[in-house]
Structure 1
Amino acid sequence: MKYFSFLFVLGITIALAIYISRPIGPIPPIAPLLDPHHGFWQNMISEDEKAASEISLPGLGAPVQVIYDQHLIPHIFAQNSKDLYQAQGYITAKHRLWQMEFQTRAAAGRLSEIVGDIALDLDRMTRRKGLGYGAELGLEYLKANDQETLEYIESYAKGVNQYIHDLSPGELPVEYKILNYRPEEWTPYKTLLLLKYMSDMLVGDRDLEYTNLRKILGAEMLAKLYPDFPEEPDPVIEKEKIWDFEPIPIEKPDGLAYPIDSLMLDPLPQPVEGIGSNNWAVSGAKTKNGKPILANDPHLSLNLPSLWYALQLTTPEFSVKGASLPGALGIISGFNEDVAWGVTNATKDARDWYQITFRDGSRNAYKYGEEWRETTFRIEEIKVKGKEDFLDTVVYTHYGPIVYDRNFRGERQDVNFALKWTVHMGSNEQKTFLSLNKAKSHADYNQALDHFTAPAQNFVFASNSGDIAMRIQGKFALKWPEQGKFLMDGSDPRMEWQQFIPNDQNPSTLNPERGFVSSANQRPVSSDYPYYVFDHTYEHYRNHRINGRLRAMDQITVEDMKELQFDDYYQQASEILPTMLKLLGDQVPEGKNAQTFLKQLQEWDYYADPNQKAPTVYYVWWNKLYDLIWERWDEFGVPVVKPTSYRTIQLLIEEPEGEIFDKKGTSEKETATTLVRTSFERMVEELNEYISKEGDYGWANFKNTTIQHLVPQFTSFSKSHVFTGGGSGIVNATSGRHGASWRMVVELGDVPNASGVYPGGQSGNPGSKYYADLLPIWAEGGYLNFDLRDPENLEGVLFQTTLK
């Protein structure tokens, strides 16, 4: 223990040193932080060392039993749902309170309150996007339409607040002590805000960049480099699907006039490459035991504390287990005795931008057709630690909030752009997961999904009765071709969203003949789906690998599915590296280690395992080549998005002599061969520089997978150089900062056979032995037994607590 104490003190010291040298707010009082009775010393005690056999939780209808397994995963047994969710709130807060509050502060645009004005621009952007506004509308929707769900959310909040009220200064999570603030009351609004925050993390739009590209490239070249329907053999819903509904007719209006100015303002932050997910389910016809198997691994930022919190929730009515989202009720990805489900991001364009024309400088009215509509004003009061409050006036139209204007990011250009987003429409995503938790059939699954608006998700499903299914769910505007692809004129009513696609016409499939369903963020449907579908970020490699393996496999077992989740095959490299090597030819550019790098590529089996060096060589070479091909895009002087890697590879293979590879302003005509050889030289130079500094250029060392604390400056609370393979675009999508945030495999049957793991631990306390104890298991592709626990089975129990 004394060595651990020393290391922990050292970690705190390093964190404080970084905190002071890279300030994120006023330095906390040192004396309270070092106080042996209330300071960080009290955070060095793991949960099992201070477990209580009984805890008073006023308001419960009956006692609630909580059994913790050896990894601190709680199994909560209650007699009714209200008690269950009150207990879930209390138990989750007990282990993840700081994370819950920090993430909802971020979602509300309130980080400046605790870290100072360094977060002011981020807070302003968050508020101008209207996340808080969306949560307010969600709360109003529940009050008017679903009192039961609201009561459950209130019970959850009650449990969280009971923990906060019982929290002694010594037990306060260490982040509060370092940042010198205390937790505040939890509310139902915060739970809804958290769900809106998840939508913001997963949705993107490229309207502004595409508007610039349309002006720069022209319609013909834009269509060539950015096709709406690139060749894609494996959409989420199988190509053979027959759409057996009568579509709602919609046509693009004639004579539309788009805003024509080039846009110089910075676009909203977009989902980082690597944000994605895999899920699939195979039917009993393809499995060894004759029952479906379902798998899910959401790819998100790899953070500590982990995004997910594992637990079991049980009442006499149902028993469910899986990954919960701290701050939200129920299980998000999991299973019960009858069904299993999981989610991936559907990458649907759900945000559109409208240029607003005000009547005058007062901004009290804006043009809409032949009339002037009144605006409303929302004053955002942002508290800033150590400084005066900042007041930001946001104008609201019927489209939504005006994010960009003369007061925010409009310095280079006079703009008034309103954001239309489904997050601003009252919805009830919490109901979806509460209903899924106790679902028993495919019909129950469909009814649960009907409540889900945003973000667009691919919901995979399997049942003990043998059904497998996939449904792409969200509230999707019915758009004419290319609507929402570019900035639209808000004064033209024809640019308006007219209707929404009915839920029963959203893409879905049940028990397809191929014997499996799967999604990996690829295009949702083939071109015969009757509605316009567009997004720039569809994935093109993981889905090829997954579907190829699932087609070939038979007599599938749980172990087979675990191996596929941890599959390191670099599909992209297998599709383009042979062409790159062919274009490189026999005349390999000179340079130290050039021949060594070439030989490693020539002998590579395309697996991105952690100790291999070829993945590093390929990764650097490919990125040098990609940047060289599209370097002119960096000179446009306005924000644009570059063509996808998939389209770039198609051009390299199909048109190596094409004009796209010719560099403007040179005397020679460059081809793909020219750029391949130049990029190889640059790769050799960069890798040699890396080797001189770091030595080992093995894949795991090079990509440096890091599980980062939610406050990046707290590096001593992070875990870096995790030895694991995979990478962005690989089934095991573990890159430097993103990857499988949760892996789950469930084999249905009379008794479900479940496995799960995530890169972190159940505790949010960096001083606990349960803070990152699952990380080594996750990094090696291991799993925990995740079966449902019986309250009478006390094998492997860490401790028990009764709430009453």
Structure 2
Amino acid sequence: MSRRAVRLTLASVAIVLVVALVASIVAAFVVVRRPLPQTSGTLHLDGLSAPVSVTRDARGIPTITARTSADLFRAQGYVAAQDRFFEMDYRRHVTAGRLSELVGENEDALEADKVIRTFGWRRIAQEEWAILEPQTKLALQAYADGVNAYLAGKAPSQIAVEYTVLGLQVDTDAPEQWDPVDSLAWLKAMAWDLRGNYDDELSRARTFASVRDVEKVDQLFPTYPQDVNAPILTKADARDEATTASAEHPLDLRDHDVQKALAAADEALSAVPHLVRDGEGVGSNSWVVDGSHTTSGKPILANDPHLSISAPGIWQQIGLRCEQVGDACPYDVSGFSFAGMPGVVIGHNGDLAWGLTNLGADVTDFFLERVNGTVVQRDDGTEPMTIRTETIKVNGGDDVKLQVRSTRHGPIISDVIDLGGTGNSPLPDGTSGHGYAVSLGWTALAPGHTADALLAIDVAKNATDIAKVGRLLEVPSQNIVFATVDGHIGYQAPGRIPIRARVSGEVPSDGTWPRPGWDSAYDWQGYVDPTDMPHVQDPKSGIIVAANQQVTPRGTGPFLTKDWDYGFRSQRINDLLEAATADDGTLGVAEMNTIQTDQHNPYADVLVPTLLSLNIGNDFDDDGQDLLRSWDRVNDTDSPAAAYFAAVWSTILRLAFDDDLPDSESPTGDSRWLEVVRGLLEEPDSPWWDDRSTPGVVEGRDEVLTRAMVSARRQLTAQLGRDPQDWTWGRLHEAAPEHAVLGGDSIPALVRRLVNPKPLQVGGGSSMVDATAWDASSGSYGVTSAPSMRMVVDLGDLDSSTWVNLTGSSGHPASPHYTDQFSAWAHGTTFPWPFTAAGVQADAKDRLTLSP
């Protein structure tokens, strides 16, 4: 599913911008540089108990040193506001369903507000505040106090240039005070973007509307190939939690009104702005090897989360250090944080390093509800819905009233956007006389302890502490890999995972398809016991790879999901690590960095042998095929063969599947589609190969593959030139981060050039270790998601660790640190990451003292 970004239309004020920002070079310089913060000398910060030191390295990355935890987090809030307050403000408006208050009358913003108000992210965050640990509340409050101290007395133009630009169209009053709940609401956005298989669940229902056969749909969602790509763990002793039940009121997905309701739900969810996730390939790589395989004799851990690309990038690098580490002030941690959240999300302390990847557990379900007025059917009776009214304020416009209905399963999301009576799909029998609606069951719609978990992991020392974190990290469900300075490595799967009963019927009841909300047999039966979640410490192999693949072999452990990444990335990492450590070989930080940027193409391994077996028979058209004969199957930036193969792949998908599927289900080319095509190569006469748009002709595999190669040659001739040797993958495949509000095409070019980094050519691709994903259904090869950062931590010498961010540490477009890591990131290089006090001081370029 595509996810619309909310874009502000400022074309009407282009002339004003030219006058304001171009007519006077001096004025333009002042406007864009006015918000840049003071980073050296001394500043006063109310509420501190003692002076706090803030050093920054050559890339503007801060390390904060304080005497108390409260001072530490107060200073972190202050520094975050210095560098990235507009990003924080944008996020809190999105997560509260108040984006229209920030950007004014904008259709995309209003639709996003409606959907998020329906979810009730901020309402849940407010409930969450009440159950957090006291020390977590203190950290969140101190952080908020630091943010507000920075904002005090500043005009919007002193805080961020974005307010100056917005002020040309809407009222931009001084930003409101930061509240701890603003931080918690951001966690709901993270949970949503990393929620697991909801896209696949709706995709199955939409695909069924065209193919009308559950078995045919299942062919497009194949089982994880565990005989080819290994799961994270080789065995598990946790029990399967499913129970058995009978369906009293089955679902008929063929019903037109059911499909209409599903289409409305899908349209509503597509209105949510992407904050961290967009397009194919969102996942992550992480792995850890023990000291028997490393040059330092201690574990080395690597992590690179794959998220949507944006300007600024999602992560803020930071070090947080207590002057004397102890019970009163336990923090000595460095890594990657979110602007708006205290602490470090991914990184290491003096005892332990950890990485996170998306577990992908199925934590959402769509429930079809039979609605009659203000009640819904419940087995043989009815029960009332909960109804509330939300008021959405629009900057410069009229308020918008929104009625939100909810059932026991969750909010009704199909209410949000009216599709005008379109739709077509399969569900329950005997449904005449009932209206349909779609509610969303999602584990994050109950308050949880994720904020507690994020601070607990910052001070974790061992596997016992990580197990505690696993019990607290309820949403989003993440794979945790970790290593300790005393030589241990481990894996922990956390998360609040629903238990679903096995219910007989045409449509599976395991969470892969929408569910009949009127039948209590389909209700969740509780949650998996956290102690039953998969985990391991010090496996015999000395290697753990967690890259979104299946966690345990089928039939073992609790049921988590069927919709995994298909494991081509994870298996490549496993293979590289095993090859490097064979015959007593060892790995260092440099070798780990090399693996992170591996660009070997698994699609080529599957397809190239068959492509080369075919005879095109035309000297011009087979020039592209000739590139494949000597190709090393590496998607480096300068590769002509990689460019040609990408065009072939997207064309194969279009020719084989677009005639059978609705437009919304055009293949994106992710690992699922690689596994689908891998299976179909063994079935050259499968009906999927036949193009139904050519009546009287039945195409097979070889006809489709040959046509795809010819078409790709001609497409690239038009796009890149006649000589295939002039083609390069990088010319097609660019990383172009965009500003969330001011980066779109409707914005005047002057502003776009200010806020959007210049696009860079990159290698890699979907389902590769260097996961610069692209969407084969979009008509573009541009990067949709990518490694949002890269880090490698050597537990034998923490100062030898390395890191790099996507763009830079600053959120101010005029800052040199807005994009000063982008080129290094694009070229696969990293920077030193000192951790010891001596190392940090030696690396410091700016020194700021925050005084009471």
TM-score (norm 2): 0.85
Once the two structures are superposed, residues 523-572 of structure 1 have per-residue CA deviations (whole angstroms, 9 ceiling, x without a partner) of 22221224334344523321121111112122111111000001111122
Alpha-carbon distance in structure 1 between the residues aligned to 2:310 and 2:697? 49
Mapping for residues 582-731 of structure 1, pairs under 5 Å: 582=613, 585-589=614-618, 591=620, 594-634=621-661, 636=662, 644-664=672-692, 666-691=695-720, 697-711=727-741, 712-713=743-744, 714-716=751-753, 717-731=755-769
**2:524 corresponds to which of 488, 492, 497:** 497
Once the two structures are superposed, residues 720-751 of structure 1 have per-residue CA deviations (whole angstroms, 9 ceiling, x without a partner) of 43133112211111242321111000010265
Cα pair distance change 1:43/1:256, threshold 3 Å: same
Mapping for residues 429-468 of structure 1, pairs under 5 Å: 429-468=450-489
Alpha-carbon distance in structure 2 between the residues aligned to 1:258 and 1:335? 49
Range with bigger deviation, 530-539 or 27-36: 27-36
3-state SS of the aligned residue for 1:470?
Answer: strand
Cα pair distance change 1:628/1:757, threshold 3 Å: same
1:44 maps to which residue? 33
Alpha-carbon distance in structure 1 between the residues aligned to 2:332 and 2:460? 10
Alpha-carbon distance in structure 2 between the residues aligned to 1:785 and 1:129? 45
Once the two structures are superposed, residues 586-629 of structure 1 have per-residue CA deviations (whole angstroms, 9 ceiling, x without a partner) of 334564xx333222111110111111111110001011001111
Alpha-carbon distance in structure 2 between the residues aligned to 1:105 and 1:18? 14
Alpha-carbon distance in structure 2 between the residues aligned to 1:84 and 1:38? 37
Letter in structure 1 aligned against 2:607: I
**1:424 corresponds to which of 424, 437, 445:** 445
Q: Determine if contact 1:610/1:700 at 8 Å carries over to the other structure.
A: yes
What is the Cα deviation at residue 384 of structure 1? 2.1
The answer as to 2:757 corresponding to 1:757 is no
What is the Cα deviation at residue 231 of structure 1? 4.6
**1:146 corresponds to which of 115, 124, 133:** 133
The answer as to 2:612 corresponding to 1:581 is yes
Q: Determine if contact 1:514/1:551 at 8 Å carries over to the other structure.
A: no
Letter in structure 2 aligned against 1:663: D
Once the two structures are superposed, residues 665-694 of structure 1 have per-residue CA deviations (whole angstroms, 9 ceiling, x without a partner) of 632331100101111222122111212599
Letter in structure 1 aligned against 2:216: M
Q: Determine if contact 1:611/1:698 at 8 Å carries over to the other structure.
A: yes
Question: Identity of counterpart residues, as a percentage?
Answer: 26
Aligned residues: 774
What is the Cα deviation at residue 506 of structure 1? 1.4
Mapping for residues 505-516 of structure 1, pairs under 5 Å: 505-516=532-543
Once the two structures are superposed, residues 400-451 of structure 1 have per-residue CA deviations (whole angstroms, 9 ceiling, x without a partner) of 1101038644643664111110110111211111111111111111111211
Alpha-carbon distance in structure 1 between the residues aligned to 2:680 and 2:666? 21
Once the two structures are superposed, residues 448-506 of structure 1 have per-residue CA deviations (whole angstroms, 9 ceiling, x without a partner) of 12111112211111111222112222110012353322221111111100111111111
What is the Cα deviation at residue 134 of structure 1? 3.6
Q: Determine if contact 2:489/2:537 at 8 Å carries over to the other structure.
A: yes
The answer as to 2:440 corresponding to 1:402 is no
1:314 maps to which residue? 321
What is the Cα deviation at residue 233 of structure 1? 3.4
Alpha-carbon distance in structure 1 between the residues aligned to 2:815 and 2:723? 32
Alpha-carbon distance in structure 2 between the residues aligned to 1:35 and 1:170? 17
What is the Cα deviation at residue 639 of structure 1? 6.2
3-state SS of the aligned residue for 2:660?
Answer: helix
Letter in structure 1 aligned against 2:731: N
Q: Determine if contact 1:20/1:27 at 8 Å carries over to the other structure.
A: no
The answer as to 2:107 corresponding to 1:98 is no
Alpha-carbon distance in structure 2 between the residues aligned to 1:33 and 1:112? 28
Once the two structures are superposed, residues 68-103 of structure 1 have per-residue CA deviations (whole angstroms, 9 ceiling, x without a partner) of 111111110111111111111000110000111112
Mapping for residues 229-628 of structure 1, pairs under 5 Å: 229-239=224-234, 241-243=235-237, 245-248=238-241, 250-254=243-247, 257-260=250-253, 261-262=255-256, 263-264=259-260, 265=263, 267=266, 268-269=269-270, 271-315=278-322, 316=325, 317-360=330-373, 363=374, 365-405=375-415, 408-409=418-419, 411-412=421-422, 415-481=436-502, 482-536=509-563, 538-554=565-581, 555-582=586-613, 585-589=614-618, 591=620, 594-628=621-655
Cα pair distance change 1:743/1:223, threshold 3 Å: same
Alpha-carbon distance in structure 1 between the residues aligned to 2:280 and 2:250? 33
Alpha-carbon distance in structure 2 between the residues aligned to 1:509 and 1:110? 43
Cα pair distance change 1:127/1:169, threshold 3 Å: closer
What is the Cα deviation at residue 337 of structure 1? 0.7
Letter in structure 1 aligned against 2:286: N
Alpha-carbon distance in structure 2 between the residues aligned to 1:390 and 1:693? 55
Alpha-carbon distance in structure 2 between the residues aligned to 1:693 and 1:715? 33
Alpha-carbon distance in structure 2 between the residues aligned to 1:508 and 1:24? 56
1:12 maps to which residue? none
Q: Determine if contact 2:132/2:449 at 8 Å carries over to the other structure.
A: no
Alpha-carbon distance in structure 2 between the residues aligned to 1:406 and 1:198? 22
Q: Determine if contact 1:128/1:402 at 8 Å carries over to the other structure.
A: no
2:780 maps to which residue? none
Alpha-carbon distance in structure 2 between the residues aligned to 1:796 and 1:429? 33
Letter in structure 1 aligned against 2:127: E
Task: Flag structure 2 segments of 5+ consecutive residues without an equivalent.
Answer: 1-6, 271-276, 424-434, 503-508, 745-750, 774-782
Range with bigger deviation, 465-474 or 560-569: 465-474
Q: Determine if contact 2:74/2:145 at 8 Å carries over to the other structure.
A: yes
2:829 maps to which residue? 782
3-state SS of the aligned residue for 2:841?
Answer: coil
3-state SS of the aligned residue for 2:130?
Answer: helix
What is the Cα deviation at residue 381 of structure 1? 1.6
Cα pair distance change 1:318/1:154, threshold 3 Å: closer
Q: Determine if contact 1:455/1:474 at 8 Å carries over to the other structure.
A: yes
Q: Determine if contact 1:210/1:641 at 8 Å carries over to the other structure.
A: no
Range with bigger deviation, 719-728 or 686-695: 686-695
2:193 maps to which residue? 201
Mapping for residues 160-199 of structure 1, pairs under 5 Å: 160-168=147-155, 170-180=157-167, 181=172, 182-199=174-191
Letter in structure 2 aligned against 1:210: R
2:204 maps to which residue? 210
3-state SS of the aligned residue for 2:479?
Answer: strand
Q: Determine if contact 2:791/2:804 at 8 Å carries over to the other structure.
A: yes
Range with bigger deviation, 347-356 or 221-230: 221-230
Cα pair distance change 1:800/1:287, threshold 3 Å: same
Alpha-carbon distance in structure 2 between the residues aligned to 1:398 and 1:353? 12
3-state SS of the aligned residue for 2:371?
Answer: coil
Q: Determine if contact 2:466/2:492 at 8 Å carries over to the other structure.
A: no
Once the two structures are superposed, residues 238-278 of structure 1 have per-residue CA deviations (whole angstroms, 9 ceiling, x without a partner) of 23x241x4544512435561143251415233851021110
Letter in structure 1 aligned against 2:539: P
RMSD: 2.9
Task: Flag structure 1 segments of 5+ consecutive residues without an equivalent.
Answer: 1-16
